[in-house]
Amino acid sequence: MSILVTGGAGYIGSHTVVELLNMGKDVVIVDNLSNSSILVLDRIKEITGKRPEFYQIDISNKELLRNVFEKEKIEAVIHFAGFKAVDESVKYPVMYYENNIMSTLSLIEIMTEYDVKKIVFSSSATVYGINNPSPLVEEMPTSATNPYGYTKVMLEQILKDVYVADSDWSIALLRYFNPIGAHESGMIGENPLGIPNNLMPFIAQVAIGKRQELSVFGNDYDTVDGTGVRDYIHVVDLAFGHIKALEKISESKKVHIYNLGSGVGTSVLELIKTFEVENKIQIPYKIVPRRAGDVAICFANADKALNELNWKTTKTIADMCRDTWNWQSKNPNGYRQS
Ligand code: NAD
Ligand code: UDP
């Protein structure tokens, strides 16, 4: 029996596939490569010695997805596939609703057809919206401020409704905080196309000389140094969170909701400083006005995942900075050759 990983060629998916293979699981990846590279498969093979089964399909296409379930024996699904850029979702809302919602509906339908009723879903801390104070706990009300966030709020609701209708389903909704870092080999990592929106990929591109300087979005927040505070989590810790969630949904059938974060907030300036010290590289930056829609502080209460999954983060901000730079310096153009 295999674990089907949608979006398994992407950033978080590829790291999770590595850990699944390391623990001896059989893995099938489905990914349309809309935001990833086929070369990831070679890198996964180099790290683990194993090459997962791979189907280059859009999971919204039920015929093609059915074909995968027909050929492979799937026991559970980890569902990463989707678009994830907030700004882009504001510009192209229909594209976001279509890709994120339709693909998940298609997946649920085909899973039901094949009686595969275990799913781990990539949700996000974005579902806490802008009104809940940190530390954020799973019971807080959810909301969104942009189409990307709404797709996560809606997909959580859709999956809860699927469970209400059929309690044979077992579902984990994992609310990631801010994943950064890379596999310690430097073989796989985050590979943003165009100008990065997120802080760490931007820092990495300044470090490698692709961007001149970082813009720090505001230094007048009510935080330790005035800059925004987030809960950064190493992508390998995050990958292990999925393994624990898979175990959980195999033990008990319900909708399990977990924050995957460290429980600790780090400011923009603290992250820059750690990157500079750890990698001995200067990151030139300038302070610019706040970015619309940003909250001052966002970090997790991570107790539930610790108590129920026996999972917590193990890696430090220094580890995240070192591993990001290791990946970026070994792969200045990501998976692209030039
Ligand atoms: P990513 O873009 O690197 O990976 C997503 C993968 O899904 C890509 O390889 C892409 O090609 C594939 N894909 C997209 N639409 C598809 C479709 N219709 N059919 C088949 N494949 C498709 O993103 P990531 O950072 O690895 O994020 C994975 C998931 O985690 C996403 O759902 C994202 O919303 C969620 N998430 C990410 C973050 C983050 O900061 N990276 C934070 C919270 C939640
Ligand atoms: N940020 C910044 N400059 C950038 C990108 C981000 O100062 O080029 C800040 C942003 O305002 C926030 C923090 O860094 O306080 C993390 O931003 P990111 O987009 O990575 O995550 P999110 O805000 O979505 O949690």
Ranges of each domain in the chain:
2-181+232-261
Residue corresponding to tokens 């976001």: 96
Supply the pLDDT for residue 85: 92
Supply the pLDDT for residue 325: 98
Least distant ligand from the CA of 123: 1
Q: Is 223 helix (H, G, I), strand (E, B) or coil?
A: coil
Task: Indicate if ligand 2 lies below 6 Å from the C-beta of 199.
Answer: yes
Cα–Cα dist 217/269, whole Å: 11
Cα–Cα dist 98/154, whole Å: 12
Backbone phi and psi for residue 201, each to the nearest 5 degrees, phi listed first = -60, -30
137-195 per-position pLDDT tens digit: 999 999 999 999 999 999 999 999 999 999 999 999 999 999 999 999 999 999 888 88
- Fold of domain 2-181+232-261: Rossmann fold (3.40.50)
Cα–Cα dist 47/54, whole Å: 17
Tokens standing for 290?
A: 């706040």
Task: Indicate if ligand 2 lies below 6 Å from the C-beta of 230.
Answer: yes
**What are the C-alpha distances in Å from 75 to residues 50, 78, 115, 160, 254?**
19, 10, 9, 20, 16
What average pLDDT is seen over the chain? 97
pLDDT of 38 higher than 70: yes
276-318 per-position pLDDT tens digit: 999 999 999 999 999 988 999 999 999 999 999 999 999 999 9
Distance 239 CA to ligand 2 centre (A): 22
Please confirm, yes or no, whether 163 is among the known catalytic residues: no
Which residue, 256, 235, 225, is CA-closest to 182?
A: 235
Question: 148, 176, 221, 258: which one is catalytic?
Answer: 148
Q: In sequence order, what E strands does 81-124 have?
A: 118-124
Task: Indicate if ligand 2 lies below 6 Å from the C-beta of 198.
Answer: yes
Read off the pLDDT band of 337 (50, 70, 90).
low
Read off the pLDDT band of 331 (50, 70, 90).
very high
Q: Is 319 helix (H, G, I), strand (E, B) or coil?
A: helix
- Report which protein residue has its CA nearest ligand 2's atom 15: 228
